[in-house]
Amino acid sequence: QKEVEQDPGPLSVPEGAIVSLNCTYSNSAFQYFMWYRQYSRKGPELLMYTYSSGNKEDGRFTAQVDKSSKYISLFIRDSQPSDSATYLCAMSADNQGGKLIFGQGTELSVKP
């Protein structure tokens, strides 16, 4: 079993839709949670990060962490064609010295 599971998609939605992206994990020691966006043949771009549980909002993006369920989510409101990319969740724990464990990534396509 992988430490971090993420549905690879592809996920296709119409422009303006609310997108929900999710990851589950097995390591209860994870405390740091990040979401990255990666366009084709580019480097991952840090979107949001949270420490421990709770919600965090930044513009059209909201990140949620539910440690009791070992489940994290990224919501994108009013999705745009420019949001079409692969979204990667990443996690780490205090005893992992900065090493990020990534999900496989979900490919998102927002259709005009």
Residues that bind another protein (CB under 8 A): 6, 32, 34, 36, 41-46, 49, 51, 88, 90, 92, 96-105
Question: 62 or 96: whose CB is closer to another protein?
Answer: 96
| Least distance between another protein and beta carbon 57 (Å) | 17
Q: Confirm if 9 and 89 have CB atoms less than 8 A apart.
A: no
| Least distance between another protein and beta carbon 11 (Å) | 16
Question: 45 or 57: whose CB is closer to another protein?
Answer: 45
| Least distance between another protein and beta carbon 50 (Å) | 8
Question: 41 or 69: whose CB is closer to another protein?
Answer: 41
Secondary structure of residue 25 in the 3-state scheme: strand
CA distances from 57 to 33, 54, 70 (A): 14, 10, 20
For residue 8 the two structure tokens come to 């690879």
Question: First vs last Cα of the chain: how many Å apart?
Answer: 37
